[in-house]
Amino acid sequence: MKKLTLALFAGLILVFACQRTPSDRKIDLTVPWRFHSGDDPAWTGATFDDSKWELINPTDIWEHQGYKNLDGFAWYRMRVVIPHILIDDAYIKDSIQFKLGKIDDYDQVFLNGELIGENGKNILPKIQPRPDFFKGPSQWDTERRYTLAANDPRVHWDQENIIAVRAYDRGGAGGMFSKPFEISMVDLPDHIKFDFGQSGFKFVGDTLISRQFAVYNISQKEEFKGTLTIHANRCDNGSLLFKQETVLNMPPGIRTVFTVNIIKDLAVPATVYFSYREKSSGKEVKERLEMPYILTPKPGKTPRINGALVFGIRPWSPLLYKIAATGEPPLTYSAEGLPEGLHLHADDGLITGMLSKKGEYTVKLKVTNSVGTAGRNLTIKCGDLISLTPPLGWNSWNVWGLTVSDKKVRQAGDAFVSSGLISHGWTYINIDDGWEDTHDKNGNIIPNFKFPNMKEMCNYIHSLGLKVGIYSSPGPRTCGGYEGSYSFEEKDAQHYADWGIDYLKYDWCSYGGIAPNPNDHQLKFPYREMRRYIRKVNRDIHYSLCQYGMGDVWKWGNEVDGNSWRTTGDIEDSWESLSGIGFSQDKCSPFSAPGRWNDPDMLVVGWVGWGPKLHYTRLTPNEQYTHMSLWSLLAAPLLIGCDLTQLDDFTLNLLTNDEVLAINQDPSGKQARQAWKTDECQIWIRDLEDGSKAIGLFNLTEYPLPVNVKLNDLGLKGKWMMRDVWPQKDLGLVETHFEMNVLPHGVRLLVLRKP
Ligand code: GAL
């Protein structure tokens, strides 16, 4: 591997066109801090000698730095001179801020021995909080920003200051992480904000992209006068696509909405740069926004059959299989070799029925329209295993959170059909937490008022050719505080089957109260228990374990008959979360197999928000290409977590690339391995059923990166035909090496086939 060269030619134009902008004067705190586990009020002190403490990097959790099993209290300390030049240089000179990344879970922060901020419960009762500190909403994923008046006596200007952070971790990941870690004055960039969250990109015709955004002055007392400049450049050659300058006066609290309309070739990546320059200080606030670019070719008029090549069913379970196909309607469907007990509906491509005997059947599918015919084999395996390819579907959590309802679930089903997602193999419509009410006196689970008739709703979703999922916990309460299945497992499983449920996500949550420090047996027990009952019902229910990877679940998920298991905590729509999860999945790779999937959590594309308020995903288009490509290489369940009634062209395009989905659905069930890794780039490679290789070249940096790949270093010998998967284009023969540009946080997804 050592020989693989990852060259970075800082192509000036490219760097100019796509790099992030520098920020204002600040003191960088991403230096090693002193660290000690345990808890002692003496550690707040300015005079305390911490020189014997270990060093730690504040931007990463302590589990990654040698403290694998540490939960509870630990302290971080650091010494820093705060120079007066910060005030001299600032346009607004009132307040100083301490940005301390994020802290998992709670923290109290001391400056020179005195409390200046706290997030979470007041966890050190001996210390009386002063009324003047920032108190956060007690969340591990909240950015810590503690602000003091510039003349506060706790700040020692031009002298050494001691910052001490007392962190408390309730379990799982712990301590300081993320970025930024810095000290700066609260200045123009803290008051003038660009807000892109209220609108997504709109595509008008074939060349116009439009996006609304707002600039607002969040200060309640400062007024700013200046100029707003917007320009857009292509990422490939840097050429200017658009420029506009507007004089903009911003009284306190004012928010102004603008629309940018940019004409460009939809397939060309481009970046829009925003800047607000304050007139009297000359200070500037900058933002950038990557524009979506469309890579997936539009489906043609001729029929094409998509979706899985293999389908698993158990004897005596009702089967519902929709032949996924694109092409100009009307399409008619036929299936030769269907085993006895199964029927095809020729006008909508639904196969239904039941099989009584185990066996493997090859069915010749055919889809015809006025333009032509497509044919493909489907293997139906009637046996013990289901979900022979990763489930493709939608789940309510990342969009609606606990505000999910019957109406929203039906709308998602309708959107699968109207948007055409169903024609690319998307199947499951899954209700997450928030549907439950209580168990009645006979132990029957009663849905809450938002789900007036679960069975009717399931029938409706099935009538669309789709399947339905539900959610529960082995504990008495779900993570959202709703009714769990504890001690009602058997009855719940029967209800799910009676309603017509096809997928169960079973989430540990309050089971932690029953088994607080679970050993191996206790980790498996509740999953075995529910598994017994869902195996008893005459229905194939995909069994999805959700316990955030505890006890390396990927090593034993199959033993409790899980069909998939979450390998991580919850995903968010940030690069940090996406890359942190996605690129840490190599350890799970050997355990992926047909019917046994590692689940790195759901997709965060489109309009998300964990309900009821939604925002457009904060992932850039490149990051979203990375998300879909990596999750496909990882053979991960793909569960769309967005509002499908607001599906924009870019998101739909991202979700309907049949060649990308074919990698995800490859019957081999093998997961990609990390084949190469530097700080800048990673290469993942997945063996496909037919002997070809799916390869992802990922750029982890914020600049375009030419990646030079030597086939030898990937263990590949001889000549290969290379295909660029997103645009579905052949790139010709490669033999010893090739080089490719990869956009910031982006990917090139390739398939190499033997000629
Ligand atoms: C979390 C789980 C999420 C979601 C949520 C519901 O534990 O990881 O995916 O299901 O519970 O409360």
pLDDT in tens, 352-367: 999 999 999 999 999 9
260 in a structural domain:
yes
Residue nearest ligand 1's atom 3 by CA: 570
Give pLDDT, residue 3. Answer: 34
Nearest ligand 1 atom to the CA of 508 is: 7
- Find where tokens 């116009």 sit: 208
Residues 60 and 101 in one domain: yes
pLDDT greater than 50 at residue 11: no
Residues 718 and 748 in one domain: yes
Q: Are 468 and 502 in contact (CB under 8 A)?
A: yes
pLDDT greater than 70 at residue 125: no
436 touches ligand 1 (CB under 6 Å): no
Q: How far is the CA of 694 from the CAs of 396, 579, 616, 669, 721, in angstroms?
A: 30, 19, 30, 13, 12
Residues 358 and 436 in one domain: no
Burial class of residue 256 (count of CB atoms within 10 Å of its CB; 0-12, 13-18, 19+): middle
User: Residue 185: CA atoms inside 13 Å, Cβ hemisphere, count?
Assistant: 19
Q: What's the gap in Å between 472 CA and the centre of ligand 1?
A: 10
Residue bearing the bigger pLDDT, 405 or 4: 405
pLDDT greater than 80 at residue 718: yes
For residues 250-272, give the mean pLDDT: 91
Q: What's the gap in Å between 479 CA and the centre of ligand 1?
A: 6
pLDDT greater than 60 at residue 383: yes
Angle between helices 575-582 and 621-633 (to 10 degrees): 20
Give pLDDT, residue 205. Answer: 82
Residues 398 and 466 in one domain: yes
Residue nearest ligand 1's atom 11 by CA: 479
- Reported in sequence order, the residue ranges of 369-400 that DSSP labels E, i.e. its strands, are 373-382, 392-395
Confidence band, pLDDT 50/70/90 cuts, at residue 313? very high
- 57-101 pLDDT, tens per residue? 999 999 889 998 888 899 999 999 999 999 998 888 989 999 999
Instruction: Provide the token pair at 7.
Output: 């060259």
For residues 284-307, give the mean pLDDT: 95
Q: Which of 644, 669, 694 is the last residue of a domain?
A: 669
297 in a structural domain:
no
401 touches ligand 1 (CB under 6 Å): no
230-244, 251-265, 485-499 — which one is most confidently predicted on average?
485-499
Confidence band, pLDDT 50/70/90 cuts, at residue 24? low
152 is catalytic: no
Give pLDDT, residue 220. Answer: 85
- 130-165 pLDDT, tens per residue? 545 444 445 777 889 999 999 999 999 999 999 999
433 touches ligand 1 (CB under 6 Å): yes
Give pLDDT, residue 122. Answer: 53
Q: How far is the CA of 135 from the CAs of 29, 72, 102, 108, in angstroms?
A: 21, 21, 14, 10
Residues 542 and 656 in one domain: yes
Q: Are 93 and 146 in contact (CB under 8 A)?
A: no
Instruction: Provide the token pair at 88.
Output: 């001299």
- Which helix (H) or strand (E) covers residue 457, if one does? helix 454-463
Hey, CA dihedral for 101, 105, 109, 113, is it positive or negative?
Answer: negative
For residues 535-555, give the mean pLDDT: 96
pLDDT greater than 80 at residue 394: yes
Nearest ligand 1 atom to the CA of 566 is: 8
Q: What's the gap in Å between 507 CA and the centre of ligand 1?
A: 7
- Substitution site in 433, 470, 504 for ligand 1 pocket (most atoms within 8 Å of beta carbon): 433
CATH of the domain at 542: 3.20.20.70
pLDDT greater than 90 at residue 272: yes
For residues 470-478, give the mean pLDDT: 97
Residue nearest ligand 1's atom 9 by CA: 570
pLDDT greater than 80 at residue 22: no
Residues 539 and 630 in one domain: yes
Residues 696 and 726 in one domain: yes
258 in a structural domain:
yes
Residues 683 and 663 in one domain: no
Confidence band, pLDDT 50/70/90 cuts, at residue 219? confident
Q: What's the gap in Å between 547 CA and the centre of ligand 1?
A: 9
- 566-577 pLDDT, tens per residue? 999 899 999 999
Give pLDDT, residue 128. Answer: 53
- Reported in sequence order, the residue ranges of 427-556 that DSSP labels E, i.e. its strands, are 428-430, 436-439, 445-447, 467-472, 503-507, 542-546
Confidence band, pLDDT 50/70/90 cuts, at residue 21? very low
432 touches ligand 1 (CB under 6 Å): yes
Instruction: Provide the token pair at 736.
Output: 């010893």
Q: What's the gap in Å between 631 CA and the centre of ligand 1?
A: 19
Q: Are 71 and 169 in contact (CB under 8 A)?
A: yes
For residues 412-425, give the mean pLDDT: 98
Number of domains in the chain: 5
Q: Are 269 and 241 in contact (CB under 8 A)?
A: no
Using alpha carbons, select from 74, 147, 78 the residue that is nearest to residue 112. Answer: 78
468 in a structural domain:
yes
CATH of the domain at 251: 2.60.40.10
- Substitution site in 402, 431, 432, 602 for ligand 1 pocket (most atoms within 8 Å of beta carbon): 432
pLDDT greater than 60 at residue 129: no
Q: What's the gap in Å between 475 CA and the centre of ligand 1?
A: 13
Radius of gyration of the chain (CA): 28
**What share of the chain in percent tops pLDDT 90?**
82
| Poorest-pLDDT segment among 263-272, 379-388, 459-468 | 263-272
Active-site entry in 432, 507, 540, 561: 507
Write down the pTM of the prediction.
0.90
Hey, CA dihedral for 323, 328, 332, 334, is it positive or negative?
Answer: negative
Confidence band, pLDDT 50/70/90 cuts, at residue 532? very high
Question: 37-76 burial, b for 16+ CB within 10 Å, e for fewer?
Answer: beeeeebbbeebebeebeebbbbbbbbeeebeebbebbbb
Residues 513 and 613 in one domain: yes
Q: Are 710 and 4 in contact (CB under 8 A)?
A: yes
285 touches ligand 1 (CB under 6 Å): no
Active-site entry in 60, 570, 713, 724: 570
2 in a structural domain:
no
Q: Which of 620, 653, 669 is the last residue of a domain?
A: 669
480 touches ligand 1 (CB under 6 Å): yes
Residue 212: strand, helix, or coil = strand
pLDDT greater than 70 at residue 124: no
Q: What's the gap in Å between 458 CA and the centre of ligand 1?
A: 22
Residue 141: what residue type?
D
Q: Which of 338, 364, 382 is the last residue of a domain?
A: 382
572 touches ligand 1 (CB under 6 Å): no
5 in a structural domain:
no
For residues 317-325, give the mean pLDDT: 97
512 touches ligand 1 (CB under 6 Å): no
473 touches ligand 1 (CB under 6 Å): no
Nearest ligand 1 atom to the CA of 478 is: 12
Give pLDDT, residue 202. Answer: 87
Task: Round to whole Å and give the CA distance between 451 and 457.
Answer: 8
Q: What's the gap in Å between 599 CA and the centre of ligand 1?
A: 13
440 is catalytic: no
Residue 252: what residue type?
P
| Poorest-pLDDT segment among 8-12, 136-140, 213-217, 502-506 | 8-12
Give pLDDT, residue 19. Answer: 38
611 touches ligand 1 (CB under 6 Å): no
Instruction: Provide the token pair at 405.
Output: 């309802």
**What share of the chain in percent tops pLDDT 70?**
94
Nearest ligand 1 atom to the CA of 507 is: 7
Nearest ligand 1 atom to the CA of 401 is: 6
Task: Round to whole Å and give the CA distance between 292 and 298.
Answer: 16
Nearest ligand 1 atom to the CA of 471 is: 10
266 touches ligand 1 (CB under 6 Å): no
Confidence band, pLDDT 50/70/90 cuts, at residue 121? low
CATH of the domain at 69: 2.60.120.260
- Reported in sequence order, the residue ranges of 478-549 that DSSP labels E, i.e. its strands, are 503-507, 542-546
- Substitution site in 507, 548, 572, 610 for ligand 1 pocket (most atoms within 8 Å of beta carbon): 507
How far is the first Cα of the chain from the last one, in angstroms, to the nearest whole number? 25
- Substitution site in 395, 402, 570, 573 for ligand 1 pocket (most atoms within 8 Å of beta carbon): 570
Nearest ligand 1 atom to the CA of 505 is: 10
Average of per-residue pLDDT values in the chain: 92
Give pLDDT, residue 15. Answer: 33
- In which domain, by residue range, is 682 found? 674-753
- Which helix (H) or strand (E) covers residue 197, if one does? none
3 in a structural domain:
no
Q: Are 346 and 323 in contact (CB under 8 A)?
A: no
Q: What's the gap in Å between 401 CA and the centre of ligand 1?
A: 9
Residue nearest ligand 1's atom 2 by CA: 570
Task: Round to whole Å and give the CA distance between 521 and 528.
Answer: 10
Residues 662 and 591 in one domain: yes
Residues 42 and 18 in one domain: yes
Q: Are 688 and 669 in contact (CB under 8 A)?
A: no
CATH of the domain at 702: 2.60.40.1180
In sequence order, what are the beta bridge partners of 185?
A: 96
Give pLDDT, residue 265. Answer: 83
Residues 442 and 376 in one domain: no
299 in a structural domain:
no
Q: What's the gap in Å between 252 CA and the centre of ligand 1?
A: 39
